[in-house]
């Protein structure tokens, strides 16, 4: 009789379970599905943390989604702590969840890529050299959600193309990837060692490149340098923009700026891996000839002056 009384109560109790419980389950499943499909989690903060003991599968899913969120927000230390907890769980739990193992491995690969790219970046800051094959080998860096890795990868790629003389390709990568990450996302370049300085230097170069191109075109077409007041940043691997700047300045002032510009250009050319084009070679030869001719005239003038005043005193003619 008692059991008959309890059964209706149990049924009634189930019927009156709060709708919020069902909503939480639905939201959790929808969020997990969204994560599996596109690595995107739009409502992570709305999820209720499952019980670690009583609901291990959902707790594992919750941990993995939180790990992804932390990593995408560049909170790598926190992401690694969460991943360590995931790895300590019974592997059977992982295997019981559809898509879990694949997502875990993918995230582990991306965390590893973060550290690999950071090591490459640290070396780049010291050597200012880029190995394109080494960069391309870190395949996860191309699609990673962690912004510092994306920024380092894109900047070094842009730097490599610039050093190879492929300025259009370099500029496209820098302005459409690196600069957008630096200026239009939550990434703080100041928090990444060396990145703020590198980005500022390349941004300055490409900002002034248009004016340099106009001045250089005028010089090539007319044979008369319009001068150039801007100080271009120097990238030693490809000093062509700096060489053009020096040539424009030197050609305007052969006496003062010419010899120094010529000396600097020769030093830059000696350490460059990019060969000057025909216009630059012609203008360099022209500057060399003009400086040599000017110095020859000065030498003749000095000799005449010394002959006129052998004791460096003006004689009284009265």
pLDDT score for 5: 45
Distances (CA, A) of 302 to 74, 164, 256, 257, 258: 67, 46, 16, 20, 19
Given 65, 98, 131, the domain boundary residue is 98
- Domain-ending residue, one of 60, 80, 98: 98
The confidence score (pLDDT) of residue 100 equals 94
* pLDDT of res. 208: 96
Higher pLDDT, 240 or 291: 240
Residue 132 included in any domain: no
Confidence at residue 44, expressed as pLDDT on a 0 to 100 scale: 67
Q: Answer yes or no: is 150 within a domain.
A: no
Mean pLDDT confidence for 128-136: 96
What is the average pLDDT across 118-130? 97
Structural domain includes residue 87: yes
CB-based contacts of 20-29 (< 8 A; 24+ apart in sequence): 24/48, 28/58, 28/61, 28/62
Question: What pLDDT score does 271 carry?
Answer: 78
Alpha-helical (H) ranges within the chain are: 2-15, 19-38, 56-72, 76-87, 91-95, 100-127, 132-137, 147-163, 167-173, 179-184, 195-222, 240-252, 257-270, 278-308
276 located within any domain: yes
CA 124 – CA 142 distance, rounded (Å): 18
The mean pLDDT value of the chain amounts to 86
Per-residue pLDDT band for 114 (boundaries 50, 70, 90) equals very high
Where is the domain boundary, 98, 125, 154?
98
pLDDT the model gives residue 26: 52
Report residue 25 CA to chain centroid gap: 41
Confidence of residue 302 (pLDDT cuts 50, 70, 90): low
- Residue 174 resides in a domain: no
222-232 pLDDT per residue, tens: 999 999 999 99
Query: Looking at the domain assignment, is residue 315 inside a domain?
Result: no
Q: 249 falls in which pLDDT band (50, 70, 90)? A: very high
Confidence (pLDDT) at 309: 64
> What is the tens place of the pLDDT at every residue in 146-174?
999 999 999 999 999 999 999 999 999 99
75-79, 165-169, 255-259: segment of lowest average pLDDT: 255-259
pLDDT in tens, 200-212: 999 999 999 999 9
DSSP state of 17: S
Domain range for 239 is: 211-307
In the predicted model, what is the mean pLDDT of residues 264-285? 88
> 306 or 32: which carries more pLDDT confidence?
32
Kindly state whether residue 62 falls inside one of the protein's structural domains.
yes
Collect all residues with Cβ–Cβ distance below 8 Å to 254 and sequence separation of at least 6: 290, 291, 294
Q: Which residue is it, tokens 């019980």?
A: 51
**Domains contained in the chain, number:** 2
| Residue where the block lists tokens 């005043």 | 309
Does 197 reside within a domain? no
Q: Residue 318's pLDDT is what?
A: 47
Tokens of 141: 């860096």
294: pLDDT strictly greater than 90: no
């Amino acid at each position: 009789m008692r059991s008959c009384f309890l059964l209706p109560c149990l049924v009634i109790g189930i019927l009156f379970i709060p709708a919020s419980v069902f909503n939480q389950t639905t939201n959790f499943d929808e969020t997990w599905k969204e994560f599996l499909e596109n690595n995107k989690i739009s409502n992570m903060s709305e999820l209720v943390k499952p019980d670690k003991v009583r609901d291990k599968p959902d707790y594992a899913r919750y941990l993995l989604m939180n790990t992804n969120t932390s990593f995408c927000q560049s909170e790598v230390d926190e992401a690694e702590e969460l991943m360590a907890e995931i790895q300590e769980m019974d592997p059977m739990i992982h295997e019981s969840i559809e898509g879990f193992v694949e997502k875990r491995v993918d995230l582990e690969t991306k965390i590893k890529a973060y550290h690999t790219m950071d090591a490459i970046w640290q070396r780049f800051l010291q050597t200012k050299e880029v190995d394109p094959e080494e960069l391309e080998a870190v395949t996860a860096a191309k699609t990673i959600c962690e912004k510092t890795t994306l920024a380092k990868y894109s900047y070094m790629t842009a730097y490599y193309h610039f050093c190879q003389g492929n300025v259009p390709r370099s500029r496209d990568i820098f302005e459409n990837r690196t600069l957008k990450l630096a200026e239009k996302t939550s990434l703080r370049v100041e928090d990444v060692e060396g990145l703020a300085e590198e980005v500022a230097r390349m941004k300055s170069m490409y900002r002034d490149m248009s004016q340099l191109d106009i001045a250089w075109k005028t010089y090539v077409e007319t044979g008369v340098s319009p001068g150039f007041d801007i100080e271009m940043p120097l990238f030693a691997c490809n000093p062509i923009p700096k060489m053009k700047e020096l040539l424009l300045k030197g050609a305007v002032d052969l006496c003062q700026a010419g010899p120094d510009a010529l000396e600097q250009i020769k030093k830059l050319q000696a350490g460059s891996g990019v060969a000057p084009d025909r216009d630059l070679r012609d203008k360099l030869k022209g500057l060399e000839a003009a400086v040599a001719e000017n110095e020859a005239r000065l030498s003749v003038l000095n000799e005449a002056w010394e002959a006129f005043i052998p004791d460096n005193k003006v004689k009284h003619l009265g």
